[in-house]
Amino acid sequence: MTGTTVERPMPGPRRPREIWTGRSEVWLSEVSADPAEPMRNVAGGGLRVSNRMLTNVVDRERRRKRARSSGVDAARGFALIGMFAIHMLPAAREDGEPTVVWQLLAGNSAALFAVLAGVSLAFNSGAERPFTGTQMNRSRANVAIRGLLLIALGVGLNQIGLATFDILPYFGVMFLLSIPLLPLRARTLLISGAVLIVALPILRFLIHRQVDGLAWHPNPTLGEIVSAPVDVVTSLLITGAYPALTWFALVCIGMGIGRLQLHFTTPRMLIIVAGGAALLFAIAVTRLLVYLNRFGGYTTVRTSFPGRSTDDVDDFLVYGPTGPLPTASPGWLISGGPHTNTPFTFIIGAGFAMVAIGAFILIARRSNLLRPLVQIGRIPMSLYVSHLILLTMAPADFGAIRLFIVQCLFAFAFTALWLRFFKRGPVEAVITSITRILTKLLGFGTPSDRSVTRS
């Protein structure tokens, strides 16, 4: 080299190398938004994915979510069949002991129905990622309208003098109570639900005991609403067959479950394990305290029924209340009988629901055997309305088992035929149409198809 100096280019500044965490920087929803794009950079510039790989990811995600929806529908169909059985089949055998069906499903099928209503509320407001802004306001409006429509539908059915208690008006009130909780995440909802399951039955008892003269209108009619509106409200909230003040805890648990990523295996297994543990714990404690009378548990329950015989107390523990809940003392709150509205009753119901939902979602992903239950679960409100009418109009001498078989055959046949031509059941379609119209009139635009789903 001569004296000429060669200028070498200096290396420019380099970005610090990022530590690989094993996770893509792009959400799956962003990847699946445009599956037709042939190539996409998903790892900050280093990894390129082919169209086939993206399509496989999208298809797998869709199959998982389809299994989640099918499993939830199957659980809802199972809850309906359970309610049919409890309302139609005998509760006791000839020897006076409760039947196996009654012991397994009494109260639990209705609890599963309530938890699934909460799951639907979560799905309709964003599932694992709650909506925000205008979308959340639209969801609130949808839930409010649906709640009012459920109250109107239930009161309308009550006009014919139903042969059993109608849960629809109570669900309508629960929907209205759920509106402030719609933006919450899964952890907050599940923790809140666990606290409410214990606290609300105690609060309901204290209100019922302290406020004299609370009326009991388990199936409120239009005439009762006009003549005694305050009594009807207190019945729906405190003294009725499904008092919303306590059953709302199950809806809250369901909303928390609906916020989980149920299309993955781990959350499903967690709710099965947690639900099974809660179920076994509550059954063991109530059996120990009440049925075995350890620590004076049964004697404590008896204090809530002054002047009543032992047989009356036993019937309450096994078959549930036949009228307003007791107010003499809080001793009965340690029991776990069906529809007794105690903390243990709701822990048992919530545990049963969690196990059922998780199990049905797991099975739905790998088997088509659940298809009949899935179809029933897609139009539950129409079938529940038909069930109330059939139960009320059936001749007294028709026979309980025969009536149950007729109800189930009708449910399976009707859904198989109806869903070949229509997307929603007749009652669901009417509620969807009214909700869309009213939501648009309120200035929230037209909601999406999934904003009004099965209740």
Task: Return the residue matching tokens 């609890």.
Answer: 111
The whole-number pLDDT of residue 369 equals 80
Structure confidence by residue, pLDDT tens digits, 296-314: 999 999 999 998 999 999 9
Cα(272)–Cα(266) distance, rounded to whole angstroms?
10
Model pLDDT, residue 46: 46
Q: Of all helices (H) and strands (E), which one includes residue 40?
A: strand 40-41
Helix (H/G/I), strand (E/B), else coil: 261: coil
Determine the Cα–Cα distance for residues 359 and 164; give it in Å rounded to an integer: 30
The phi and psi torsions of 97 (rounded to 5 degrees) equal -80, 150
Q: Which of 190-194, 211-215, 386-390 has the lowest mean pLDDT?
A: 211-215
For the ranges 26-40, 82-96, 152-166, which has the lowest average pLDDT?
26-40
Q: Are 271 and 357 in contact (CB under 8 A)?
A: yes
The pLDDT confidence band at residue 25, using thresholds 50, 70 and 90, is very low
The residues spanned by each domain of the chain are: 63-451
**Residue 178 neighbours by CB under 8 Å, 6+ apart:** 118, 121, 143, 248, 251, 252, 255
Please tell me what DSSP assigns to residue 92. B
Average pLDDT over the chain, rounded to an integer = 86
Q: How much is the average pLDDT of 319-339?
A: 93
Cα–Cα distances in angstroms (integers) from residue 18 to residues 21, 27, 44, in the given order: 9, 18, 9
Q: Which of 449, 233, 204, 223 is nearest to 327 (CA)?
A: 204
Condensed to tens digits (0 to 9), the pLDDT of residues 197-225 reads 999 999 999 999 998 778 899 999 999 99
Interval 42-75: pLDDT, tens: 444 444 555 666 565 555 666 666 767 889 999 9
Look up residue 431 and give its two tokens: 């509620």
Residue with tokens 């399951």: 197
Residue 249 has a pLDDT of: 97
How much of the chain exceeds pLDDT 70, in percent? 83
Return the pLDDT at 94.
Answer: 87
SS3 14: coil
Q: What is the DSSP string of 34-55?
A: -TT-S-EE-STTS-EE-HHHHH
Q: In the prediction, which pLDDT does 59 show?
A: 56
Sign of the dihedral through C-alpha 401, 167, 420, 356 = negative
Please tell me the pTM assigned to this model: 0.85
| Residue 127: HSE in the Cβ half-sphere, 13 Å Cα cutoff | 8
Tokens of 344: 């243990």
Q: Which two three-digit tokens encode residue 319?
A: 């078959």
How far separated are the first and last CA of the chain, in Å rounded?
87
| Signed CA dihedral, 227, 231, 236, 241: sign only | negative
Neighbouring CB atoms inside 10 A of 52's CB total: 9
Burial letters 174-204, b for 16+ CB under 10 A, else e: bbbbbbebbebebeebbebbbebbeebbeeb
